[in-house]
A and B are shown apart, each in its own frame.
Chain A
Amino acid sequence: MNQTATHTSTRFQAEPINLKNIQVQKLFMILFGLMAAVLVIPVILIIFTLLQKGGSAISWEFLTTFPSNGMTAGGILPALLGTVWLVAISLLASVPLGVAAAIYLSEYAPQDHWLTRVINLATINLAGVPSIVHALFGLGAFVAFFHLGTSILAASLTLAVMTLPVVIVASWESLQSVPFAFREACWNMGATRWQTIWHVVLPNALTGILTGIILQVSRAAGETAPIMFTGAAFFLPFLPSSVMDQTMALALHLFTISTQVPGVPEQIPFGVALVLFGIVLIINTCSIWLRMYLRSKKKW
């Protein structure tokens, strides 16, 4: 009787090998956890530095006036508006094209066809092209060949070419995440591919497509190289009157006053950086919030 009791009470006890395994598992959990935490540090440091050094520059006046005194004083209005214009027009070009291409690749293109493979390969490679190469392409194609000159239009189209592959990939992934059973159900009821796409696939893929697009806003807003040769100017004393004019842009303005103009008080470039970073942060946060909101409404 006594013996049985002892026997039972020692059942399922850890042996040395189990204890060791538990220790190893804890070690890796802590190690990986620390590495994940390291990711956050640069973001916090950037925000902190920007706020500390550039926070004092931010005011309503800073956002709504022209630079003055050879860009060593005054505001950033033309650069801010320029960035808004560039991003808006580039999206106007890249979104319809990118989403349409993604729909073709996801819904129509025969898999394993050589043309599909070529398009996929082109998309992936386009995404990997360095932005300075995009700049040269834009200079050659839009500025020179299409005679757009250095203009908002040429710069926006260059940005559009740059963001296009990511819009395609994000939209494609989002389309692919719509369960195949929905398409099958639709086709079997006699719907054409287009009816299926319009009534079933697109409404359910919209969340992901939107998120993908919004993330491109921040990318387009932050790029300097592609717009440098194609339409952005170091300094303009007036606002552009049409898309054929040049414009200032935040990213290039930051580059200019940090490296090309002597005697700029420190808080101005940091203020510009803070505005740029703030725009990106706000847009990304909105995008994440939008995605969570739409996901919570979507159930299947």
Chain B
Amino acid sequence: MNKQEIQQEIAIRTINLNLWYGHFQALFDVNLEIKQGIITAMIGPSGCGKSTVLRSVDRINERLGYVRITGAIKVLDKNIYDPDVNLSQLRKQVGMVFQRPNPLPISIYDNVIFGHRLHRPPDVKLSSRQEDEIVEAALQRVLLWDKVKDKLKRKATIDLSLEERQKLCIARLLPVKPAVLLMDEPCSALDPKGTAAVEELIWELRGEYSILLVTHNMAQARRTSDECIFMLMGKVVEHTDTDKMFVTPQYRETADYIEGRYG
């Protein structure tokens, strides 16, 4: 399979997705195809629905109780709103990275292995060697191993910088081998140096994971994504290659937004 063919595979497909919070309609007929193995950025002004799309893909929206959805979201060709879908299995495949790094108040080591332990069948016993290897591999992958290898047993909420915490939050998703990573403004709590480091990491993960990245930062969308989606008022305005969108946007709204005339 050459690279072109890999890119044809669709990781997330939304079909006529409409979403209401109570009586407020947040999404209107959203049809998206997020390709596998690349980074897709979602941009748009606050309240345009980009985070709503993101939070629908791992169905975390539902806990609000008053969310209603029509249409379908297919992740790896399976409609995640089918009655036979298990939320735990879905979220194992679809990892989420938040705006504010939110490591759990347990040790760095336990943070990384947490998801793996959650999803491990009770009859599968791992030696501590095997767990060590999983933790090391995940931390290596997010370029954090050298920094934290001497303090793995210390609390993750104490002496890590925000950048390191965010990397840890990405690392803890990896042991369960997700297919899709959703990132909700993953750098907006970080300083410029941290932002650069996390962006570098996201780029590093490209290929192995399908990444959907919501960002307010257009420069970031431009730097880090292959394709870009522009949303406005709950509708998808434009979805195209990032290079094209920032050079020759097809719609007035897109052009106005990326030139900073509103938003």
Known: A110-B65, A182-B102. A187 touches B91 (CB 8 A): yes
Q: What 0/1 pattern do residues 107 to 121 of A give for CB contact below 8 A with B? A: 000110000000000
Pick from B115, B157, B158: contact of A190, CB under 8 Å = B115
Interface residues of A in 251-300 (CB under 8 A from B): 298-300
Interchain CB contact under 8 A, A182 and B58? no
Contacts of A195 in B (CB 8 A): 118
A185 touches B104 (CB 8 A): yes
Closest CB in chain B relative to A197 CB, distance in Å? 13
Q: Are A185 and B102 in contact (CB under 8 A)?
A: yes
Question: Given A200-B104, A204-B105, is A187 in contact with B60 using a C-beta cutoff of 8 Å?
Answer: yes
Do B60 and A182 touch (CB < 8 A)? no
Whether the Cβ atoms of A190 and B92 lie closer than 8 Å is: yes
The reply to whether B172 and A189 form a contact with Cβ atoms under 8 Å apart is yes
CB distance from B59 to the nearest CB of A (A): 10
Q: A190 contacts B89, CB within 8 Å? A: yes
- Choose among A111, A179, A189, A300 the residue that contacts B91 (Cβ–Cβ < 8 A): A189
Residues of A within 8 A of B114 (CB): 189, 199
Q: Which residues from B are CB-within-8-Å of A298?
A: 105
Would you give the 0/1 interface string for A178-204, flagging 1 where the beta carbon is closer than 8 Å to chain B? 010110111111111001000110001
Residues B88 and A182 in contact, CB atoms below 8 Å apart: no
Q: Type the 1/0 row for B113-128, where 1 means its CB is closer than 8 Å to any CB of A.
A: 0110011000000000
Question: How many angstroms from the CA of A194 to the CA of B169 in the assembled complex?
Answer: 21
Report whether A189 and B118 are in contact in the complex, using a CB–CB cutoff of 8 Å.
yes
B23 at the A interface (CB under 8 A) = no
B residues in contact with A191, CB < 8 Å:
88, 118
Report A-chain residues with C-beta under 8 Å of the C-beta of B60.
184, 187-188
Q: Which residue of A lies closest to B114 (CB)?
A: A189
Does B90 interact with chain A (Cβ within 8 Å)?
yes
Q: How many residues of A contact B (CB 8 A)?
A: 21
Number of B interface residues at 8 Å Cβ cutoff, please give it. Answer: 29
Contact between B100 and A190 (Cβ–Cβ < 8 Å)? no
B104 touches A188 (CB 8 A): no
Contact B100 A181, beta carbon cutoff 8 Å: yes
Given contacts A190-B87, A195-B118, contact A185 B98 (CB under 8 A): yes
With contact pairs A184-B60, A185-B169 given, residues A300 and B90 touching in the complex (Cβ less than 8 Å): no
A-B residue pair count with CB separations less than 8 angstroms: 61
**Given the interface contacts A298-B105, A299-B155, does A187 sit within 8 Å of B115 by beta carbon?**
no
Query: Would you give the 0/1 interface string for B51-71, flagging 1 where the beta carbon is closer than 8 Å to chain A?
Result: 000000010100101000000
List the A residue with the shortest CB-CB distance to B159.
A299
Contact B119 A190 (CB under 8 A): yes
On whether the beta carbons of B91 and A181 are closer than 8 Å, the reply is no
Q: Which residues of chain B (152-191) have a CB below 8 Å from chain A?
A: 155, 157-158, 169, 172-173, 176
Contacting residues, chain A, for B118 (C-beta < 8 A): 189-191, 195
Kindly list chain B residues whose C-beta atoms are within 8 Å of the C-beta of A189: 91-92, 95, 114-115, 118, 172-173, 176
| Chain A residues closer than 8 Å to B98, beta-carbon distance | 181, 184-185, 188
Contact of B95 among A110, A182, A188, A300 (CB under 8 A): A188
How many angstroms between the C-alpha atoms of A191 and B104 in the bound complex?
A: 13
Q: How far is the CB of B93 from chain A (nearest CB, A)?
A: 9
Q: Give the residues in chain A near B172, CB-CB below 8 Å.
A: 189
- Report B-chain residues with C-beta under 8 Å of the C-beta of A186: 104
Query: Do A190 and B105 touch across chains, with their CB atoms under 8 A apart?
Result: no
Q: Would you give the shortest CB distance from A120 to chain B, in whole angstroms?
A: 17
Q: Which of B90, B102, B155 contacts A181 (CB 8 A)?
A: B102
Contact across chains for B87 and A182 when beta carbons are under 8 A apart: no
B229 at the interface (CB under 8 A from A): no
Name the residue of chain A whose CB is nearest to the CB of B89.
A190
- Distance (whole angstroms) from the CB of B181 to the closest CB of chain A: 11
Q: Judge if B96 is at the interface, Cβ distance under 8 Å.
A: yes
Smallest CB gap from B88: residue in A: A190
| Least Cβ–Cβ distance between B156 and chain A, in angstroms | 9
Residues of A within 8 A of B58 (CB): 188
Specify the chain A residue showing the minimal Cβ separation from B55: A188
Can you name the residue of chain A whose Cβ is closest to the Cβ of B90? A190
Q: Name the A residues within 8 Å of B87 (CB-CB).
A: 190
Q: How far is the CA of A56 from the CA of B51 in the complex (A)?
A: 71
Report Cα–Cα, A195/B120, bound state, in Å.
Answer: 13
Q: Mark A137-180, 1 if CB is under 8 A from B, else 0.
A: 00000000000000000000000000000000000000000010
- Known: A179-B102, A187-B60; 15 extra A-B contacts, CB below 8 A, are A181-B98, A184-B60, A184-B98, A184-B102, A185-B104, A188-B95, A188-B98, A189-B114, A189-B115, A189-B173, A190-B88, A191-B88, A192-B88, A200-B105, A299-B158
Rank and list the top 9 A-B pairs by shortest CB-CB distance, nearest first. Answer: A190-B91, A181-B102, A190-B88, A188-B96, A300-B157, A189-B115, A185-B102, A190-B92, A300-B105
Interface residues of A (CB under 8 A from B): 110-111, 179, 181-182, 184-192, 195, 199-200, 204, 298-300
